[in-house]
Chains A and B, each alone.
Chain A
Amino acid sequence: MDKTININLGGTLFQIDEDAFRILHDYLQAINSRFGYVQGGHETIEDIESRIAEIFQSQKGLAGVITRANIEAMISIIGKPEDFDHGDPDTAAPVYTSQKRRMHRNPDDFIISGVCGGIGAYLDTDPVLFRILFVVSSMFGIGLFVYVVLWIVLPVARTDSQKREMSGGSYHSAINQNKHYDNAQMTGTPQYSAGYKSSSRIGNAINEIFMAIGRVFYIVIRIFLIIIGVVFVLTGFLSILSFVMIFIFKFPGVFSIDSSGINLINFTDFLNYIVNPASVPWITILASIAFILPMLALIYWGVKMIFWFKARDGVFSLIALVVWVMSIAGLTIIGFSEGISFAQTAKTSAETLLPNSPDTLYVRSDKKIADLKFEKDFALPHDEYSVYINDEKKELYMRSYLAIDRSDNKSTRIEVRKRSAGRTEMEAIKKTEGLIYNYSIKGDTILVDEYFTSPSGRKWSADNVGINLYIPTGTILKFEKDTRILLHSSFRNESDEYLESSWESVDGLWVMTDDGLEPAHENSVKHK
């Protein structure tokens, strides 16, 4: 059954169905806007309303619901406002220009109480301007005060004539937009509004304040959500941008925090040496999906939070989730199948004893990274693990590090420790033996390479080479020029003191003490 509405028309109550109500409403609105501003016009409106009531009564008695047909019959009797002209030249073609303006609160355009909407209508300006003005000036306290005063002082433009006054006649009634029609508006004759106002004024004020608090609360939450939304969108957007820039366009430096330490741009090239090259495109695609999809979701959520809309995105989200899970599953499968090659790690080491333990030992680097021929390099962040790729020779070069330890006997010796991973321990050991690392001892000078080489055509298998130099207490160690690269950047002694700060000041001169390596100053060396 259709909804029926009770209306009070010319002092008589009628039941009217919703459809008919809308037509009647528009009709009365048209009459209102025809006569509302003419002198004595309210009386005319009342007369016409009484007549409408009379016609309805003659049609229905007092029982029954008024339908569309009733309304149409009534309108054909009374006529449309534009047909009234035939008798009255004065009401034809009304001109509003001389309409006086009075500021009201706008009930059809409000955020909190319609103050800004009213000012906007009064000045024919976008109310948003005043809203921003009030928010900004509220930060200094004035705006809030002015706003509250205006809220109290300005009346709400309830009737049509007030709405017309609010904007000097140019106001377009909200009724045409079917924005809100209720009984109060329906029977919006002057005497009705007057009664409505006086009877429940205090109740209205309290109600209005609560509504306003609710709206303020809502606005605060909206602003909060908008901020989160913006953060989401920015995060997602920048993540995708940096992902694309680094891995697809290989745009170096910009997005890395420390361009010397982090070099991920050639990761995809390096992948060719880690896994079966056939699976590299798959890994690239799957990893892109696995990373970009959540970022897109983040952007979408952000946009949703900012613009606050509802969308039928359930199926879409589900598909996206399934695709994402599948990409992760695919990566996992590839990871497992390729990971087998890294199942076991093995370490081998070889020691060389120096024939005599010199008082002063010189350290020099032999083969330098600076002289390397390579196309691409790759570095893991934080881990100080750098790989240099020579695609032509299919060789990998990796940095090796020198560590200085105290010899527990009087001997001076060098130990080279190699580490590799493989399917089995045997394979891993074999792989360590394949790693090429050279050093040589010439009198009291040792020459070490800055890198080691993985044989041509072999895959990378988490290879590592470390050189340990053991020297007895009292031995002076002189690092020649440009040998800093041989040592870890976090260069420490036995008692775990960080020695970096002294490197420059001692000019590469160190001495082994019972507490480990310490910076040696010229005079202390002479003293010994």
Chain B
Amino acid sequence: MDLENNKAQMRKGILEYCILSVLSRNSCYASDIIKELKEAEVIVVEGTLYPLLTRQKNAGLLSYRWEESQQGPPRKYYELTDEGRKYLVDLDKSWQELVESVNLIRTR
């Protein structure tokens, strides 16, 4: 078995959950999300994030508005929609269940 591959698969599964979680605390720029995900070592390269943001936005989970920046062109400022919050609650629940299931198996 390839450990790296396994870790990547795990991260892949939780990545969308993590994005929504970051945004649930406060709205922010893409670069802020990246910063947090990188610190938590959930993503390796930034490029991973952008297609996910686009998809979640298209799914109606999040929205963005253009914010002027001091230097350069305006930037996208992301926040969760109501639908996104509901979705996150569901995900929180499934995450909790998943953790419990894993713990149950590990401590038996």
* Complex contact B45–A50 (CB within 8 A): no
* Complex contact B52–A87 (CB within 8 A): yes
* Complex contact A77–B31 (CB within 8 A): no
Of the stretches A88-96, A113-121, A163-171, A310-318, the one at the interface is: A88-96
Give residues of chain B (1-51) contacting chain A, Cβ–Cβ below 8 Å: 8, 11-12, 15-16, 30-31, 43-51
Is B86 positioned at the interface, with any CB of A under 8 Å from its CB? no
Partner of A50, one of B44, B49, B55, B75: B75
What residues on A are CB-neighbors of B54 within 8 Å?
40-41, 43-44, 47
Cα separation A125 to B16 with both chains bound (whole Å): 44
Cα separation A47 to B73 with both chains bound (whole Å): 12
* Complex contact B75–A88 (CB within 8 A): no
* Complex contact A77–B45 (CB within 8 A): yes
Cα separation A84 to B52 with both chains bound (whole Å): 10
Chain B proximity mask over A19-44: 1 for CB below 8 Å, otherwise 0: 00000000000010001001111011
Of the stretches A51-59, A146-154, A272-280, the one at the interface is: A51-59
Number of A-B residue pairs at CB separation under 8 A: 92
Q: A12-B72, A53-B73, A57-B71 are in contact. Are A87 and B31 (CB under 8 A)?
A: no
Listed residue (B15, B31, B43, B48) with the most chain A CB atoms within 10 angstroms of its CB:
B48
* Complex contact B43–A87 (CB within 8 A): yes
Cα separation A107 to B57 with both chains bound (whole Å): 35
Q: A39-B58, A86-B44, A87-B43 are in contact. Are A50 and B51 (CB under 8 A)?
A: no
What residues on A are CB-neighbors of B58 within 8 Å?
39-40
Residue of A nearest to B31 (CB): A54
* Complex contact A44–B73 (CB within 8 A): no
Is A281 positioned at the interface, with any CB of B under 8 Å from its CB? no
Q: A53-B72, A86-B11 are in contact. Are A38 and B51 (CB under 8 A)?
A: yes
Cα separation A10 to B69 with both chains bound (whole Å): 13
Distance (whole angstroms) from the CB of B70 to the closest CB of chain A: 11
Cα separation A31 to B46 with both chains bound (whole Å): 13
Listed residue (B16, B30, B31, B49) with the most chain A CB atoms within 10 angstroms of its CB:
B49
Is B76 positioned at the interface, with any CB of A under 8 Å from its CB? yes
Cα separation A62 to B16 with both chains bound (whole Å): 34
* Complex contact A79–B46 (CB within 8 A): yes
What residues on A are CB-neighbors of B47 within 8 Å?
31, 48, 78-81, 83-84
* Complex contact B45–A78 (CB within 8 A): yes
Q: A51-B31, A78-B45, A78-B46 are in contact. Are A35 and B73 (CB under 8 A)?
A: no
Cα separation A88 to B52 with both chains bound (whole Å): 7
Supply 11 A–B pairs (Cβ within 8 Å), ascending by A: A12-B73, A40-B55, A44-B54, A50-B73, A51-B30, A79-B44, A84-B51, A86-B43, A86-B44, A87-B12, A88-B52
Is B80 positioned at the interface, with any CB of A under 8 Å from its CB? no
Residue of A nearest to B37 (CB): A87
Listed residue (A53, A83, A90) with the most chain B CB atoms within 10 angstroms of its CB:
A83
What residues on B are CB-neighbors of A141 within 8 Å?
none
* Complex contact B45–A90 (CB within 8 A): no
Write the residues of chain A forming the contact surface with B, with a CB cutoff of 8 angstroms.
10-12, 31, 35, 38-41, 43-44, 47-48, 50-51, 53-54, 57, 62, 76-81, 83-91
Residue of B nearest to A92 (CB): B12
* Complex contact B53–A47 (CB within 8 A): yes
Distance (whole angstroms) from the CB of A45 to the closest CB of chain B: 8
Cα separation A511 to B6 with both chains bound (whole Å): 123
Listed residue (B16, B48, B50) with the most chain A CB atoms within 10 angstroms of its CB:
B50
What residues on B are CB-neighbors of A83 within 8 Å?
44-45, 47-48
Distance (whole angstroms) from the CB of A528 to the closest CB of chain B: 122
Residue of A nearest to B45 (CB): A79
What residues on B are CB-neighbors of A84 within 8 Å?
45, 47-48, 51
* Complex contact A47–B45 (CB within 8 A): no
* Complex contact A51–B8 (CB within 8 A): no
Cα separation A5 to B31 with both chains bound (whole Å): 27
Distance (whole angstroms) from the CB of A316 to the closest CB of chain B: 55
* Complex contact B73–A88 (CB within 8 A): no
Q: A53-B72, A57-B72, A87-B43 are in contact. Are A35 and B51 (CB under 8 A)?
A: yes
